[in-house]
């Protein structure tokens, strides 16, 4: 792990310590977010898979019904019959917030005039198979919409989860160790400076003491000399 | 008000027309790409695309996978499910968790 390229000063130390504190707190929060997202996501993905299998199976059935219907009727009649559908769909999109991920919620209204009358054709030229096919399609539709919402939610959550996971890892394995390392480096450097200063002071003190002693000695010698002179 | 669109080969999408969705019959990938882009930029919130066309227009679909709208959903065509739709769910799990832990055992 590389330490950051910073000046080992006390000011830097304080600011790094503050950053470390933020990073640790952020890491904890993101980790919580990740766990919660994961819980949410796994349920959703499982549900999504189940729903998709169901829709695929049902849709296959609908296609089969249509194939049967079109084999009985001529292609032109069939296309003509379905040309102007009676049902319409009004879709409204709301939104829902899951762990700060904005996911769309689909809500739909069918705009059929009459619930029981969804067939856009007279019964004279079409077969009962087509009725069944359309009825089944109509029944399947809410599920199809549900699948759309779930699938979008799954993919959005997956993207968010990936991002969060990366952030957690970046904090845990890069950011925090690097900060810790740099803080330790600055602390050592400061301690080292402190010790250097201490020894320098001691040395200076020694030198001053020696000087004082020498001065004192010189004075004493001068006094002794003066004493000898006055007696002699 | 948002709309729902269906893109696929003419035979497969016929059934969707019956329930009142906006249907866009389309034969090849290049056309599908253009359609997807045009519809995504307008007021379509959900686009159902058949799996075989989605295969050819994968790059275009990818563009919208991380945006909120539209939701582009793969549906099997009349030939039956190719497993691509379920593959997308699996991919999402893989992306989120790092490994497929939900559907891996089923194959």
Q: Which residue ranges in chain A fall short of pLDDT 50?
A: none
User: What is the separation of C-alpha B63 from the centre of its chain, rounded to a whole number of angstroms?
Assistant: 12
Q: What is the pLDDT of residues B43-54, one digit of tens each?
A: 888 888 888 888
Question: Are the Cβ atoms of B4 and A55 closer than 8 angstroms?
Answer: no
Question: Are the Cβ atoms of A56 and B81 closer than 8 angstroms?
Answer: yes
pLDDT (0 to 100) of residue B107: 43
Task: Determine the Cα–Cα distance for residues B45 and A93; give it in Å rounded to an integer.
Answer: 8
For residue A115, CA distances in Å to A6, A71, A112, A136, B67 come to 73, 28, 6, 14, 35
Average pLDDT over residues B16-32: 81
Q: Tell whether B97 is covered by a domain.
A: no
pLDDT (0 to 100) of residue A92: 84
Q: Tell whether B107 is covered by a domain.
A: no
- Candidates B5, B15, B22, partner chain A, best to mutate (most A CBs within 10 A): B15
pLDDT (0 to 100) of residue A25: 96
- Candidates A34, A52, A127, partner chain B, best to mutate (most B CBs within 10 A): A52
**Least Cα separation, residue B102 to chain A (angstroms):** 7
- The closest CB to that of A138, out of B12, B19, B93, belongs to B19
CATH code, A10-85+122-178: 1.10.287.3240
Task: Determine the Cα–Cα distance for residues A99 and B21; give it in Å rounded to an integer.
Answer: 33
Task: Determine the Cα–Cα distance for residues B29 and B101; give it in Å rounded to an integer.
Answer: 32
Q: Do residues A136 and A62 make contact, with C-beta atoms less than 8 angstroms apart?
A: yes
* Token code pair at residue A83: 């040309």
Tell me what ipTM this predicted complex has. Answer: 0.85
3-class DSSP assignment, residue B12: helix
Q: N- to C-terminal Cα distance for chain B?
A: 41
Q: Which domain holds residue B24?
A: 3-78
Closest by CA position to A111, among listed B74, B43, B7, B1: B1
**Least Cα separation, residue B24 to chain A (angstroms):** 13
Q: Which residues of B touch A63 (CB under 8 A)?
A: 12, 15, 76, 78
Q: Which residues of A touch B76 (CB under 8 A)?
A: 56, 59-60, 63
In chain A, where the domains are located: 10-85+122-178
pLDDT for B35 beyond 90: no
Q: Tell whether B19 is covered by a domain.
A: yes
> What angle separates helix A10-72 from helix A128-170, to the nearest 10 degrees?
170
Q: Tell whether B99 is covered by a domain.
A: no
Task: Determine the Cα–Cα distance for residues B4 and B23; give it in Å rounded to an integer.
Answer: 9
Question: Are the Cβ atoms of B46 and A106 closer than 8 angstroms?
Answer: yes
- Candidates A43, A45, A55, A149, partner chain B, best to mutate (most B CBs within 10 A): A45
Q: Do residues A75 and A125 make contact, with C-beta atoms less than 8 angstroms apart?
A: no
Domain holding B18: CATH number? Answer: 3.40.50.10580
pLDDT (0 to 100) of residue A194: 96
Which residue on chain A is closest to B4 by alpha carbon?
Answer: A91
Task: Determine the Cα–Cα distance for residues A5 and A52; give it in Å rounded to an integer.
Answer: 53
Secondary structure string (H, E, C) spanning chain A: CCCCCCCCCHHHHHHHHHHHHHHHHHHHHHHHHHHHHHHHHHHHHHHHHHHHHHHHHHHHHHHHHHHHHHHHCCHHHHHHHCCCCCCCEEEEEEEEEECCEEEEEEEEEECCCCCCCCCCCCCCCCCHHHHHHHHHHHHHHHHHHHHHHHHHHHHHHHHHHHHHHHHHHHHHHHHHHHHHHHHHHHHHHHHHHHHHHHHHHHHHHHHHHHHHHHHHHHHHHHHHHHHHHHHC
Q: Tell whether B87 is covered by a domain.
A: no
pLDDT (0 to 100) of residue A114: 60
Average pLDDT over residues B49-62: 82
Those of residues 48-87 in B touching chain A at CB distance below 8 A are 48, 65-66, 68-69, 71, 73, 75-76, 78, 80-81, 85-86
For residue B36, CA distances in Å to A105, A144, B9, B71 come to 21, 19, 14, 11
Q: Tell whether B46 is covered by a domain.
A: yes
Task: Determine the Cα–Cα distance for residues B31 and A172; give it in Å rounded to an integer.
Answer: 47
Task: Determine the Cα–Cα distance for residues B53 and B32; give it in Å rounded to an integer.
Answer: 7
Who wins on pLDDT, A22 or B41?
A22
Domains in chain B: how many in total? 1
- Count the neighbouring beta carbons within 10 Å of the beta carbon of residue A196: 10
pLDDT (0 to 100) of residue A17: 96
pLDDT for B30 beyond 90: no
Q: Whole-prediction pTM value?
A: 0.79
| Sequence-ordered list of residues with C-beta below 8 angstroms from that of A53, at least 6 positions apart, any chain | B86
* Token code pair at residue A56: 């695929």
Indicate the burial class of A12 (C-beta count within 10 angstroms; 0-12, 13-18, 19 or more).
middle
Task: Determine the Cα–Cα distance for residues A164 and A100; give it in Å rounded to an integer.
Answer: 12
Q: What is the pLDDT of residues B71-88, one digit of tens each?
A: 888 888 777 767 777 888
pLDDT for B26 beyond 90: no
Average pLDDT, chain B: 80
Question: Are the Cβ atoms of A151 and B78 closer than 8 angstroms?
Answer: no
């Amino acid at each position: 792990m590389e330490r950051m390229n910073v000046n080992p000063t006390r000011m830097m130390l304080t600011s790094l310590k503050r950053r470390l504190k933020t990073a640790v707190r952020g890491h904890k929060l993101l980790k919580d977010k990740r766990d919660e997202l994961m819980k949410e996501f796994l349920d959703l993905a499982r549900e999504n898979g189940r729903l998709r299998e169901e829709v695929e199976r049902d849709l296959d059935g609908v296609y089969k019904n249509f194939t049967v219907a079109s084999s009985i009727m001529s292609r032109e009649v069939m296309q003509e019959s379905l040309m102007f559908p009676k049902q319409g769909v009004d879709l409204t999109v709301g939104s829902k917030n899951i762990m700060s991920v904005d996911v769309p919620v689909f809500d739909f209204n069918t705009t059929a005039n009459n619930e029981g009358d969804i067939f856009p054709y007279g019964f004279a030229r079409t077969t009962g198979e087509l009725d069944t096919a359309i009825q089944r399609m109509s029944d399947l539709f809410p599920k199809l919409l549900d699948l759309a919402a779930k699938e979008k939610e799954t993919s959005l959550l997956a993207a968010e989860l990936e991002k969060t996971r990366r952030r957690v890892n970046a904090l845990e394995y890069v950011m925090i160790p690097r900060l810790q390392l740099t803080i330790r480096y600055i602390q050592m450097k400061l301690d080292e400076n402190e010790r250097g200063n201490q020894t320098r002071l001691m040395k200076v003190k020694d030198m001053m003491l020696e000087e004082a002693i020498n001065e004192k000695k010189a004075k004493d010698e001068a006094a002794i000399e003066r004493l000898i002179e006055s007696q002699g | 008000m948002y709309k729902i669109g269906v893109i696929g080969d003419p035979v497969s999408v016929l059934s969707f027309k019956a329930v009142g969705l906006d249907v866009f019959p389309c034969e090849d990938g290049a056309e599908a790409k253009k359609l997807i882009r045009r519809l995504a930029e307008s007021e379509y919130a959900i686009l159902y695309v058949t799996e075989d066309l989605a295969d050819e227009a994968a790059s275009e679909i990818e563009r919208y996978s991380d945006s909120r709208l539209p939701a582009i959903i793969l549906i099997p065509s009349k030939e039956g499910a190719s497993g691509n739709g379920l593959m997308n769910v699996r991919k999402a799990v893989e992306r989120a968790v790092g490994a497929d832990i939900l559907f891996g055992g089923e194959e």
